[in-house]
Chains A and B, each alone.
Chain A
Amino acid sequence: MNQWKNFSKGFIKDNPVFVLLLGLCPTLAVTSSAINGLGMGLATTFVLVCSNMVVSLIKNLIPDKVRIPSFIVIIASFVTIVELIMEGFVPALFEALGIFIPLIVVNCIVLGRAEGFASKQSFISSLIDGLGMGLGFAFALTLLGAVREALGNGSIFGYKFIEGDAILVFILSPGAFIVLGYLIALLNRFKKAT
């Protein structure tokens, strides 16, 4: 497969959030601001790339019957690494993301790529696939976070452009569902047009 296509499919065509609808829990939970969305997206990207690489390297060593538990252990190890790194270097972000950092381990997109892609493909393809999918996920989270932050707080990446109060409900839980719903509808509309 063309490697560029392999990389870029994660952004629009097979975007994990907008099209595949995988990993929605962290998507909805941490995107109350753009910076949180970006941080979560990058943490997931790291786990996705590393687990994809390792899975594609050892795919022939794992017996078929225990492959899912083995994948989960691989993923959980990388999540623990991310957890420790984030706690050490970006404690504020670690606090803000809270329980959703360990929950990367149950993010369907990571296991989905390990099982659906890396366990069948070569090392390089898996690496690129992980990077593309991860960045597509980060892109979706940042976009969602930016929209919610703009509507709910009048700011983007902490830079305030509206004085005073905004529509607070968009950074609370109902706003997450509604904004994501409309973003997907918008994307469907664009895909029809092309």
Chain B
Amino acid sequence: MEYLIIIISAIFVSNIVLAQYLGICPFLGVSGKVSTSVGMSGAVLFVMTIATIVTWLIQTYILEPFGITFLQTISFILVIASLVQMVEIILKKISPPLYQALGIFLPLITTNCAVLGVALLTVSRNYNLMEGVVFAVASAFGFGLAMLLFAGIREHLDLMDVPKGMRGVPIALVTAGILALAFMGFIGLV
């Protein structure tokens, strides 16, 4: 039951992109096409889950016993940076087309605040390891859901006659706002 609450609240009620504003850069950057946004969400799911597990272990077994929690930011970001490097190498070998499509945004997962954000939230909410993993996976799915919805809308937006000054980023942001408004309807679900 607890896990169900974590899942629902991470995906819908406080969606990581639309309610917590984490991972906006890839959200706006690679959401032009549905196919690339799927790839990006997959990469985020993978990195986020592993990052949360590793950072949780570091926090519990290294930082807290030695009383050096002020090193949290530095150690977490280093773990995430090396993980991203690993995913990059693996993807390059396994799926070159996907690697090409994600292009610059793969190294940018390092500076994707969603990954570090989820790791920090897991620690600050005192989740245990299992809850942390569930939270990370659900958050990644929330990210994927928002990306997919947004990419779908943007593909249609390309065909619309948007006023000149609003073309490109402004209309995308307003669309995201309306999407966030829709997600506010889930408040009260949990």
Which A residues lie at the B interface, using CB under 8 A?
Answer: 21-22, 24-26, 28-29, 68-69, 72-73, 76-77, 79-80, 83-84, 99, 102-103, 105-108, 111, 169, 172-178, 180-182, 184-186, 188-189, 192
Q: Which of B28, B116, B180, B184 is the one whose CB lies under 8 Å from A106?
A: B116
Determine if B5 is an interface residue (Cβ-Cβ < 8 Å). no
**CB-CB < 8 A to A22: which residues of B?**
25
B4 at the interface (CB under 8 A from A): no
Flag if A173 contacts B18 (CB, 8 Å).
yes
Of B58-66, B133-141, B151-159, B170-178, the one with at least 4 CB within 8 A of chain A: B170-178
Contact residues in A for B149 (Cβ distance below 8 Å) = none
Q: Is the CB of B73 within 8 A of A83?
A: yes
Q: Are B81 and A69 interface neighbours, CB within 8 A?
A: yes
Q: Mark B83-122, 1 if CB is under 8 A from A, else 0.
A: 0000000000000000000000001101111001100110
Q: Are B73 and A102 in contact (CB under 8 A)?
A: yes
10 more contacts with CB within 8 A, not counting A174-B184, A184-B169, are A26-B21, A28-B21, A76-B78, A103-B113, A173-B21, A181-B170, A181-B171, A185-B166, A186-B165, A188-B165
Residue of A nearest to B75 (CB): A76
Q: Is B25 touching A181 in the complex (CB atoms < 8 A)?
A: no
Residues of A within 8 A of B22 (CB): 25, 29, 103
**Chain A residues whose CB sits within 8 angstroms of the CB of B165 once the complex forms:** 185-186, 188-189, 192
Q: Which residue of B lies closest to A21 (CB)?
A: B169
How far is B22's CA from A186's CA once the two chains are assembled, in angstroms?
A: 25
User: When the two chains form their complex, are residues B21 and A182 in contact, meaning their CB atoms are under 8 A apart?
Assistant: no
- Which residues of the other chain, A, contact B117 by a CB distance below 8 angstroms? 99, 103
- Cβ of B181 within 8 Å of any chain A Cβ, yes or no, is yes
25 pairs, CB–CB < 8 Å, chain A vs chain B: A21-B28, A26-B21, A28-B21, A68-B107, A72-B78, A73-B78, A80-B71, A103-B116, A103-B120, A105-B73, A105-B77, A106-B112, A173-B180, A173-B184, A174-B178, A174-B180, A177-B173, A177-B174, A178-B177, A181-B169, A181-B172, A181-B174, A181-B177, A182-B170, A185-B170
Q: Are B177 and A176 in contact (CB under 8 A)?
A: yes
B residues near A, CB below 8 A? Answer: 18-25, 28, 70-74, 77-78, 81-82, 107-108, 110-113, 116-117, 120-121, 124, 165-166, 169-174, 176-178, 180-181, 184
Q: How far is the CA of A156 from the CA of B145 in the complex (A)?
A: 35
Residues of chain A within 8 A (CB-CB) of B172 are: 181
- Checking A25, A69, A99 against B24 with a beta-carbon cut-off of 8 angstroms, the contacting residue is A25
Within 8 Å CB of A69, what residues of B?
Answer: 78, 81-82
Judge whether A99 and B121 touch: CB under 8 Å.
Answer: yes
Residue of A nearest to B121 (CB): A99
A106–B177 CB distance below 8 A: no
Within the complex, the shortest CB–CB distance from B113 to chain A, in Å, comes to 5
Closest A-B pairs by Cβ, 6 of them: A181-B173, A177-B177, A178-B177, A185-B170, A29-B21, A181-B174
Task: Write the chain A residue with the least CB distance to B21.
Answer: A29
> In the complex, what residues of B have CB within 8 A of residue A84's CB?
70
| Partner pick for B174 among A24, A105, A172, A178, CB 8 A cutoff | A178
Q: Which of B18, B73, B166 contacts A76 (CB 8 A)?
A: B73
Bound-state Cα–Cα, A166 to B157, Å: 31
Kindly identify which residue among B21, B108, B166, B177 contacts A108, using a CB–CB cutoff of 8 Å. Answer: B108
**In the bound complex, what is the Cα–Cα distance between A83 and B78 (angstroms)?**
18
Verify A24–B78 contact, CB threshold 8 A. Answer: no
- Chain A residues with CB under 8 A of B113: 25-26, 103, 106-107
